[in-house]
């Protein structure tokens, strides 16, 4: 409570802050001790209005003389009609951007290049054992295949790279190409984003006794291979007794193998293979967010209708300004929701990044639905000229006389730009709100 | 100073509450049923218009009772004609605010 009051006191001139704080702290202390926390919280709701009133009174008393510590607050820009509605989405954007940069996983996603996994690549796992032997893999590559175009094999071991203990995958030479991360196989090492950062972005590394050239960086945060390799070394041949992981590139037109399949072996029992599409283990924040946006479109229409009066009927020349204004707010909210949902997803699923997609879509939806609705609602009745909220509502007519006369509410722009007529009981001849611009002859009424 | 005829109903209600003995913001809120966001800014306006005067409680009293000093409000002489005019303009004003108990009067 005290922190909130201190924050509000920044709205006031320096010389009045201490008195204002003492006054509110005293009131809160008394209310809290006499009536409890709930009335104290109710009381606190008035602090904003009081601070604004005091500021306005001080401004009135000495228009040129009073000053605030925060120069941007005291500037006249703050009083411009379009700044305050933009303040909420802008503040939200800044908070979410800070959160996205602060959470390590989301920061890596934002900084590293995005990776779209080829939809044909699947991870293959024996139902009995987590790994498949290199000999079995070699036999598969020799056989004529109807389901797969090719296979890749890798095995992850902890090894020292430039003195750092990393999970290094020794892989068949086609792995990088199959993953869509590079062209032809090149001798050398591929480092993950985090490992490259840890080693100081080297061009050459020492793996055991051998010096190797660093061929490229892998998008580790978005590519989740099993055993989470931090570096990949390509090799033409591996020892036959090695057990590792196998990836397959599903042939075009192959039958659906998402439920797995059996592989017969000579003189050995058949292998039951489980299949996991690589796409499921790759975080694609853009797709998750897009999915949330599509659901949002349905939800916006499906939740309580935005009521009559959404968008005034007005001449075309006046329409672009409110539309751009709402568009900027919505864009800021979309960007905030993207960053915020990414930060939430990565902080909640840090140990299992493959689960982040669902969490991100859900978080984005939860962030977007209330904020977009709030923005659309708050922009319903705005003057198209100065973008101020229309006020001074006046009820016109009677519901019983709606047959012969119109019945509804008139809203007025305080600057005298015009009036909005909003029918409370739509008729065939007056069903949508209308905007009536006032010409300069009315200016005398709005001189104050 | 505010012109007698121009005091709004809310401002008149708050002024009346102070006149009948409610001395600080929260008691005015409770007696009038108005929210804090209305009462406290209105008190500022009434004070700026010279209809009420605020006074901090003596430090010694607050210290003796081990609590922070409170700000009390009192109507000024200038408020009397305004109140009279408001009461005739809003006849239900007195009915809306019961006089404060003696303890409240301080």
Q: Does B50 touch chain A (CB under 8 A)?
A: no
- Mutate which: B33, B37, B61, B103, vs A, most A CBs within 10 A: B37
pLDDT tens-digit readout, A338-362? 999 988 988 887 666 667 788 889 9
User: In this structure, what are the phi and psi dihedrals at residue A230, rounded to the nearest 5 degrees?
Assistant: -100, -15
Chain B residues touching residue A42 (CB < 8 angstroms): 35-36
- Would you write out chain B's pLDDT as a tens digit for each of its 106 residues? 444 556 888 888 899 999 988 888 888 888 888 888 889 999 999 998 899 999 888 888 888 888 888 889 999 999 899 988 888 888 887 777 777 664 454 4
Chain B residues touching residue A49 (CB < 8 angstroms): 36-38, 40-41
- HSE, side-chain direction, 13 A CA sphere, residue B49: 20
Point out the domain boundary residue: A323, A344, A378: A378
A241 shares its domain with A173: yes
Q: Pairing between strand A268-277 and A261-265?
A: antiparallel
Beta bridge partners of B75: B52
Which residue segment(s) compose the domain that A406 sits in? 391-446
Q: Quick one: average pLDDT of A61-85?
A: 55
| Residues counted in chain A | 448
Q: Is residue A385 part of a domain?
A: no
Q: How far is B59 from chain A (nearest CA, A)?
A: 12
Residue contact A53–B24, C-beta within 8 A:
no
Min mean pLDDT across A111-120, A246-255, A282-291, A409-418 is at A111-120
- Mutate which: A26, A40, A51, vs B, most B CBs within 10 A: A26
Q: Is residue A293 part of a domain?
A: yes
Point out the domain boundary residue: A234, A262, A281: A281
Cβ burial, residue A76 (10 Å; 0-12/13-18/19+): exposed
A254 shares its domain with A294: no
The torsion of the CA quartet A435, A440, A441, A447, rounded to 10 degrees, works out to 100
The answer to whether residue A232 scores a pLDDT higher than 80 is yes
Residue contact B26–A43, C-beta within 8 A:
yes
Confidence of residue A268 (pLDDT cuts 50, 70, 90): low
Residue contact A23–B67, C-beta within 8 A:
no
Question: What three-state secondary structure class fits B24?
Answer: coil
Higher pLDDT, A214 or A75: A214
A264 shares its domain with A322: no
B71: nearest CB among A26, A45, A52? A26
pLDDT tens-digit readout, A14-32? 777 888 888 888 888 888 8
The answer to whether residue A331 scores a pLDDT higher than 90 is yes
pLDDT at A282: 67
Chain B residues touching residue A53 (CB < 8 angstroms): 40-41, 44-45
Q: Look over chain A and give the mean of its residue pLDDT values, rounded to a whole number.
A: 79
Question: Tokens 């001449």 belong to which residue?
Answer: A315
Q: Quick one: average pLDDT of A426-439?
A: 81
* Nearest of A113, A346, A356, A121 to residue A219 by alpha carbon: A113
Residue contact A42–B71, C-beta within 8 A:
no
- HSE, side-chain direction, 13 A CA sphere, residue A301: 5
Residue contact B41–A45, C-beta within 8 A:
no
Residue contact A46–B68, C-beta within 8 A:
no
A45 shares its domain with A59: yes
A320 shares its domain with A432: no
Q: How far is A333 from chain B (nearest CA, A)?
A: 29
CA–CA dist A286, A89 (Å, integer): 20
A274 shares its domain with A289: no
* Nearest of A388, A391, A427, A387 to residue A410 by alpha carbon: A391
Point out the domain boundary residue: A262, A281, A300: A281
A256 shares its domain with A294: no
Q: Interior CA angle at A370 toward A366 and A371, to 5°?
A: 105
* Nearest of A260, A233, A238 to residue A137 by alpha carbon: A238
Chain A residues touching residue B26 (CB < 8 angstroms): 27, 30-31, 39, 43
Q: Name every residue whose Cβ is closer than 8 Å to that of residue A336 and which is 6 or more positions away in sequence.
A: A89, A92, A93, A95, A96, A97, A367, A371
Beta bridge partners of A98: none
- HSE, side-chain direction, 13 A CA sphere, residue B2: 26
A426 shares its domain with A347: no
Q: Does B71 touch chain A (CB under 8 A)?
A: yes
Residue contact B40–A50, C-beta within 8 A:
yes
Q: Is residue A84 part of a domain?
A: no
Q: Is residue A87 part of a domain?
A: no
Q: Percentage of chain A surpassing pLDDT 70?
A: 83
B41: nearest CB among A26, A44, A50? A50
Number of domains chain A contains: 4
pLDDT tens-digit readout, A105-144? 777 777 766 666 677 788 887 777 778 888 888 888 887 7
Domains, chain B, with CATH or none:
4-97 (1.10.10.10)
ipTM score for this prediction: 0.86
Question: What three-state secondary structure class fits B21?
Answer: coil
Tokens of A307: 């009521």
Q: Does B26 touch chain A (CB under 8 A)?
A: yes
A64 shares its domain with A131: no
pLDDT at A112: 64
CA end-to-end span of chain A: 38
Q: How far is A26 from chain B (nearest CA, A)?
A: 5
Q: Is residue A143 part of a domain?
A: yes
| Residues counted in chain B | 106
B68: nearest CB among A29, A44, A46? A29
Question: What three-state secondary structure class fits A143?
Answer: coil
Q: Percentage of chain A surpassing pLDDT 90?
A: 9
pLDDT at A364: 94
A271 shares its domain with A319: no
A221 shares its domain with A127: yes
- CA A402 to centroid of chain Cα atoms: 47
Chain B residues touching residue A46 (CB < 8 angstroms): 35-41
pLDDT at B106: 45
CA–CA dist A365, A289 (Å, integer): 8
A146 shares its domain with A272: yes
């Amino acid at each position: 409570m005290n922190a909130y009051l201190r924050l509000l006191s920044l709205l006031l001139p320096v010389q009045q802050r201490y008195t204002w704080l003492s006054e509110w702290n005293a009131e809160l202390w008394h209310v809290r001790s006499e009536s409890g926390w709930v009335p104290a919280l109710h009381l606190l709701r008035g602090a904003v209005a009081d601070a604004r009133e005091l500021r306005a009174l001080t401004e009135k008393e000495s228009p040129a003389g009073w000053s605030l510590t925060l120069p941007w607050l005291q500037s006249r820009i703050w009083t411009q009609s379009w700044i305050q509605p933009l303040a909420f989405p802008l503040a939200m954007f800044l908070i979410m951007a800070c959160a996205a940069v602060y959470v390590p996983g989301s920061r890596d996603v934002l900084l590293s290049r995005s990776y779209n996994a080829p939809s044909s690549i699947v991870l293959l796992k024996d139902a009995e054992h987590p790994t498949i032997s290199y000999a079995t893999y070699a036999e598969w590559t020799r056989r004529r295949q109807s389901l797969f175009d090719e296979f890749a094999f890798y095995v992850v071991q902890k090894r020292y790279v430039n003195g750092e203990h990393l999970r290094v995958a020794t892989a068949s030479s086609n792995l990088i190409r199959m993953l869509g991360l590079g062209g032809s196989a090149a001798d050398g090492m591929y480092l993950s984003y985090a490992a490259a950062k840890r080693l100081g972005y080297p061009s050459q590394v020492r793996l055991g006794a051998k010096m190797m050239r660093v061929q490229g960086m892998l998008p580790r945060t978005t590519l989740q291979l099993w055993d989470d390799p931090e570096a990949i070394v390509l090799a033409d041949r591996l020892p036959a007794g090695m057990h590792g992981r196998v990836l397959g590139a599903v042939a075009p037109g192959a039958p659906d193998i998402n439920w797995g399949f059996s592989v017969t072996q000579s003189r050995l029992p058949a292998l039951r293979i489980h299949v996991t599409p690589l796409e499921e283990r790759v975080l694609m924040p853009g797709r998750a967010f897009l999915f949330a946006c599509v659901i949002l479109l349905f939800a916006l229409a499906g939740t309580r209708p935005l009521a009559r009066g959404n968008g005034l009927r007005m001449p075309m020349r006046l329409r672009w300004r409110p539309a751009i204004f709402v568009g900027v707010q919505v864009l800021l909210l979309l960007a905030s929701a993207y960053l915020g949902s990414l930060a939430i997803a990565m902080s909640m699923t840090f140990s299992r990044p493959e689960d982040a997609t669902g969490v991100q879509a859900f978080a984005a939806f939860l962030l977007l639905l209330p904020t977009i609705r709030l923005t659309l609602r708050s922009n319903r009745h705005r003057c198209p000229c100065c973008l101020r909220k229309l006020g001074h509502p006046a009820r016109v007519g009677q519901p019983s006389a709606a047959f012969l006369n119109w019945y509804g509410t008139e809203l007025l722009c305080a600057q005298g730009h015009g009036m909005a007529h909003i029918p409370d009981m739509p008729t065939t001849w007056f069903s949508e709100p209308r905007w009536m611009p006032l010409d300069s002859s009315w200016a005398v009424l709005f001189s104050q | 100073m505010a012109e007698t005829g121009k005091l709004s109903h809310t401002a008149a209600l708050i002024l009346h509450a102070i006149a009948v003995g409610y001395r600080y913001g929260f008691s005015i809120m409770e007696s009038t049923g108005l929210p804090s966001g209305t009462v406290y800014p209105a008190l500022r306006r009434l004070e700026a218009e010279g209809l009420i005067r605020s006074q901090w409680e003596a430090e010694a009293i607050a210290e003796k009772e081990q609590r922070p000093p409170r700000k009390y409000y009192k109507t000024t002489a200038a408020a009397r004609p305004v109140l009279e005019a408001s009461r005739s303009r809003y006849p239900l004003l007195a009915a809306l605010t019961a006089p404060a108990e003696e303890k409240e009067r301080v």
